Amino acid sequence: MTLFHPETLYLYLGEQGSWSGPPTFNGGGYGTIGITDRNLYVSGGSGGGASDLRLLSGSWNDFESLKS
């Protein structure tokens, strides 16, 4: 990617995943919870959200901004 002065980049950061919690911002889903044969609960964390760089500003889900 070639940038020319005074080009502006917009950084959109996804949220860090969480341990057995709700989904995270911008793409992370629920983790799993289950019971083993010894009646022990096991849990998987939720995924982290997506991060990206853009050339156009806008809300995180703005279509024109996403295409840039």
Tokens encoding 15:
């949220």
Q: What is the pLDDT of residue 4?
A: 86
Which tens digits make up the pLDDT trace of 21-34? 565 555 556 666 66
Checking if the pLDDT of 20 tops 80, the result is no
Largest Cα separation within the chain, whole Å, is: 62
User: Residue 39's CB: how many other CB atoms inside 10 A?
Assistant: 6
40 contact partners, CB below 8 Å, separation of at least 6: none
Helix (H) or strand (E) holding 35: strand 33-35
3-state secondary structure of 38: coil
Query: Has this prediction a pTM greater than 0.75?
Result: no
Q: What is the pLDDT of residues 51-67, one digit of tens each?
A: 889 999 888 788 888 88
**Is the pLDDT higher at 23 or at 14?**
14
Given this model, what pLDDT does residue 68 score?
79
The residue ranges of every structural domain in the chain are 1-68
- Residue 31 DSSP label: P
